[in-house]
Amino acid sequence: MLKKKWIVSAVVVGMSSTAILSGCSTNANKTDVAATTSTDTTKAASDPNSLDKTVNLKVVSQTKYAPNAVPNEYTKQTEQKFNMKWDYQAIPLSAGMDKYNVMFASGDYPDFIPNMNNWSAVKKWASAGYLLPIGDYFDQMPNYRKLYTDEQWKMLQDFTSVNGKIYMLPSITTTYDPMAWIYRKDVFDKAGITAFPKTTDELLAALQKIKESNPSFIGIGIRGGSGNTGVKALLNSFANTFRVPADFAGSTGWTSFWKDPDMNNQVVFSPATSKQRDMLKYLAKLYKAGLIQKDFATGTEDQFNQNRINGKDVIDFQWVSQIVSLEKQNKNADWEYARTYVQDTASGKEPVMFKGPDFALFGSILSNKLANEPDKLNRLLKYLDWSSTPEGQLFNQLGVENLTYVMKDGVPVYKDDLDRKKVLEQFGFDYFITKSDAAQKADPTYTITTEAAPAFKQMTTFLAPYATLSEDDSNTVNSTMTGVWNEVYQFATKAVMGLVNIEDDKVWNDHLANLNKVGLDKALAIYQKSIK
């Protein structure tokens, strides 16, 4: 295994790295606890920090599994604990971002979204003035602050700043769950493949063997969805192999602008380099041989999950922790994960790990309307800070003792045959700020990720880069990169499917010219200036 190397590239997306820690003065009307007059009750009712007054809030959530009913035990318990009345709506993942976009476009958007998982949308809504700069209220959430080390807190400010303000309360990860090739070992064994392929040539040969022994095999499974989700997932599957930073819409901190050691440490946009072209050439070869899911560009999340269940997908690139739920769905399936990434045979260079911060650009956002509604704002701040405590973490993740979980040998475990999916569907509980340390002790996903972590942490690792951009430069980047990424993904889709000839130099050069037409040259110049 490779010796561990942590390589920090000096680049950020966006935005100012200034810490926003100045609290908004919402405490001016606090009740004097020393007073004992008959007006105390009235004062408490008008105090934004008091829990005596019921506040009404519009809350819209989009969880991994949709709850069967609303209200449910989660909403009832939360409302009762904090004297809130929620107008609560759960959006299924299959609806994508469409419903959120309609809400914000119409002006009828929620007070609180606990689990937004689209960093690009957050930046857009923040710049448009829809969101509350939550960073201005960090001093009112001391328990949330305690979840971070000083180094992590500095990274939070760097990576989540939009025009000098922080608009998201990120979810911090307490475990290291690497993305890796996960595959059906029983199917591989049946095809005579006793070890996971180490190179791109070996992977091609292995997939061909599986296709011969298992005609229903659709090739590498791709987790699809709305927009460019499918082609993004396909490219991300080979990012480590071809040493091209993956793109998760910035949710990992990576935006593909960085100092590339394979290109003399020049500041480059990786999808416009020869390494991206090499990756597309290889993927086009796999696709032509029927070794990549045919409808990778249009397939849905539901289709992806169904292909796993019915045995058509026996290899895909996802988080190691998913193996637990996959084997629970099908007890006859023996899922395994590869302990390293596949090496590109042609270049001979080792695969690398691209690692983001220890938090995800996934988390809670609040409406800017709350700035003028201190009762509602302070109630939500209390709830969010409580949710950051061990008690709150356990409540949000597992629910209520003896209803959804029981204590076993001092450790909370799901009751009877319940699991995360069932508890979320039947009762509404799920983690969103962080996972409960107490709950993880009995969680099989914690066991497998803890086992997997050492192998991946020893790989040559590039940390997510960051750069401080001025407001004007940030606006330029934000206004151009949507078009750039659309061109990247449209071209990649056509190249993989053989609709354009990626081997043709003119085709590739025309693509590079199109990237500049939509503004890549402007964005690249900004990063080249900003990266020291």
Residue 506 and residue 495: Cα distance in Å, rounded? 13
Pairwise pLDDT comparison (441 vs 456), residue with the higher score = 456
Residue 28 has pLDDT above 50, yes or no: no
Interval 203-253: pLDDT, tens: 999 999 999 999 999 999 999 987 899 999 999 999 999 999 987 666 677
pLDDT in tens, 82-127: 999 999 999 887 777 899 999 999 999 999 999 998 888 998 899 8
Cα–Cα distance list, 401 to 405, 427, 433 (Å): 5, 13, 20
**Dist CA 250 CA 179 (whole Å):** 16
> Residue 319: pLDDT band by 50, 70, 90 thresholds?
very high
What mean pLDDT value characterizes the chain? Answer: 88
Out of 186-200, 311-325, 409-423, 458-472, pick the least confident: 458-472
- Angle ∠(428,430,432) on CA atoms, nearest 5: 130
- Binned at pLDDT 50, 70 and 90, residue 269 comes out as very high
Q: Given a cut of 60, is residue 46 above it in pLDDT? A: no
The predicted pLDDT at position 285 comes to 98
**Rounded to a whole number, what is the distance in angstroms from the first to the last CA of the chain?**
32
For residues 403 and 397, the answer to whether their CB atoms sit within 8 Å is no
pLDDT at 312 over 60: yes
Q: Which residue has the higher pLDDT, 10 or 76?
A: 76
Rg for the chain (alpha carbons), in Å?
Answer: 24
DSSP tag of 28: T
Q: Around Cβ 105, how many Cβ atoms within 10 Å?
A: 10
SS (H, E, C) 216-269: CCCCEECCCCCCCHHHHHHHHHCHHHHCCCCCCCCCCCCCCEEEEHHHCCEEEE
Per-residue b or e along 468-505, where b marks 16 or more CB atoms closer than 10 Å to that residue's CB: bbeeebbebbbebbeebbebbbebbbbbbbeebebeee
Least confident of 190-194, 247-251, 463-467, 493-497: 247-251
- Rounded percentage of the chain residues whose pLDDT exceeds 70: 90
**Model pLDDT for residues 241-259, shown as the tens digit of each residue:** 999 998 766 667 788 999 9
The token duo for 308 is 């796993």
Asked if residues 483 and 228 have their Cβ atoms less than 8 Å apart, the reply is: no
Model confidence band, residue 456 (pLDDT cutoffs 50, 70, 90):
very high
* CB atoms closer than 10 angstroms to residue 55: 20
Sequence-ordered list of residues with C-beta below 8 angstroms from that of 417, at least 6 positions apart, any chain:
none
Q: How big is the CA angle at 468 (ends 170 and 139), to the nearest 5 degrees? A: 40
Q: What is the pLDDT of residue 504?
A: 98
- In tens, the pLDDT along 357-375 reads 888 888 999 999 999 999 9
pLDDT at residue 491 tops 50:
yes
Domains and CATH numbers, the chain: 55-166+367-435 (3.40.190.10), 179-357+463-530 (3.40.190.10)
Yes or no: say if 174 and 394 are a contact pair by the CB < 8 Å rule. Answer: no
User: Residues 487-507: what's their mean pLDDT?
Assistant: 98
- Average pLDDT of the segment spanning 479-508: 97
| Whole-number Å distance between alpha carbons of 329 and 307 | 12
Cβ atoms < 10 Å from Cβ of 52: 13
pLDDT at 14 over 60: no
Give the list of residues 6+ apart from residue 398 with CB closer than 8 angstroms, or none: 404, 405, 412, 414, 423, 429, 436, 439
Mean pLDDT of 125-151: 95
The whole-number average pLDDT for the span 158-175 is 88
Q: What is the pLDDT of residue 180?
A: 97
Cα separations (Å) of 12 from 8, 257, 269, 432, 496? 11, 9, 13, 25, 30
**Maximum average pLDDT range among 191-205, 472-486, 518-532:** 191-205
User: Identity (one letter) of the amino acid at 229?
Assistant: T
Give the integer Cα–Cα distance in Å for 425 and 67: 4
At position 323, the amino acid (one-letter code) is I
- In this prediction the pTM is 0.74
Distances (CA, A) of 419 to 188, 258, 387, 416: 29, 41, 20, 9
Q: Which residue has the tokens 């045979």?
A: 345
Band the pLDDT of 23: cuts 50, 70, 90. very low
Q: How confident is the model at residue 356 (pLDDT cuts 50, 70, 90)?
A: confident
More confident site: 189 or 463: 189
Q: Please report where in the chains the tokens 């041989």 appear, as a residue.
A: 289
**Which of the pair, 523 or 17, is modelled with greater confidence?**
523
Kindly report whether the peptide bond that precedes residue 390 is cis, defined as omega within 30 degrees of 0: no
Answer with the residue of higher pLDDT: 20 or 514. Answer: 514
